[in-house]
Structure 1
Amino acid sequence: MALKPDLKGSSFALSVLQLTEDNVDSCLQFLHNKVAQAPAFFTHAPLVVNIENTAQIDIDFKVLHQGIVQSGMIPVGVTGSKDNVIKNHVTDAGFAVMSTSKTPYQAPAEMAPTKVIRTPIRSGQQVYAKDGDLVILNHVSAGAEVIADGSIHIHGTCRGRAIAGASGQKQASIICQDLQAELVSIAGNYQLMDQIDTQYWQKKILLTLQDTRLQFDILSI
């Protein structure tokens, strides 16, 4: 029997560009610089723009939409619009009008078994643990990507990208035996290699999320 199309609610971890001024050019330059730092992470990634803290009157949403596309990311929607006139400008530019959800992340009714990988994760490889935790008993090479909806444990050196809480689980964590990562992320909150404090470099690290800030703790055992 052929399955019929269906429409269901869901939630995804999305990157959010926080605008603090109506100057679209400076915001796009910031975005292009970020993408250039980690193109494998950001290219073709969906992006939401938050304009809540701007005047909104002088934002050229068509230029903003075009600039996001040129950066390599996919413009999804705009949140924080204050009135119907602004919302009309948003939709005319090709964005969806979005509202910030206050619903907390709900874990799946049944968590998947922990995914355990014994072999090295080589450059260009991607490993994803859906609805569960991921354990890597080896190294993660530069250019590789390990993703989990739950937590990630890496028992070797991580030189690639580690993305935990990929579906929005803020309680997720990352434990890494030797942190040399290109990027670490929990529930969409990330730091690039050059943003990680050198005191945590090449150390055994527990990484958690405090509000929207990544918390690094050195493990002594």
Structure 2
Amino acid sequence: MPKSIRIQKTDFSLPVIQLVDYDISKISDELKQFMPISDKEFLSIPCVLSVEGEELEPTFFAQLLESLRQFGFLPVGIKTDNTSFIEQAKYAGLAVFNQKMNQLDLFDIALQNRKNQELEALQEAPETPKFLTHHRTICSGEQVYAEDCDLIVLGDVEQGAEVIADGNIYIGGSLLGKAYAGNSGLMNIDEISVRAYSFEPELVSIAGFYQLQEDIPQKYIGLSVKVSFEDQKLQYALE
């Protein structure tokens, strides 16, 4: 799948406005020198704010942003240790820059953390078997279920026994009981089949579509048969 974005790790430098005084009127007076002479020269200047960690009035940050924007500056982020400023910056949609690390390194760390999380998830996730193998005949009254996988029976399925699989069913001996393939309904029904070396089922089902023995064409009974679902009905083929 083509990517929707491309990340370019370029050190795109921005001017940093470091506050050394916290009087809004004085800050505004000094910002006026950057005002354009005419509207034709007006450009918004992206910048980063650097604020020391002292406690300030709750409204100071909002006033500061308004003053900066009024005089042509467009704050995009803030460098500070002040918890209150950090919360206000996030609320205003500004980035919070790390004081102790290069910002490009932060992107590498984020990618590595994502890879580590994905690797941990793969390691913790239990491996789902692709098939369940049953190594003996399934007797009358017994039921064998292969959850989320195929079922292979190395023996017979006697009359009165049931075999159920969320995937395919392969029977190396005689199928005399009932077979239910595609039980979960989550797998592609076109890929589900029931196969038996000797086909004489009481009932055969694929994803809920079933036929009793009396409805199955007699020419397939007792032979090696593959059952699949095509054209909205069960189809039989000799193997």
Structure-1-length-normalised TM-score: 0.48
Structure with the greater alpha carbon radius of gyration: 2
User: Which structure is higher in helix share?
Assistant: 2
Structure-2-length-normalised TM-score: 0.45
Greater relative contact order: 1 or 2 (C-alpha under 8 angstroms, separation 6 or more)?
Answer: 1
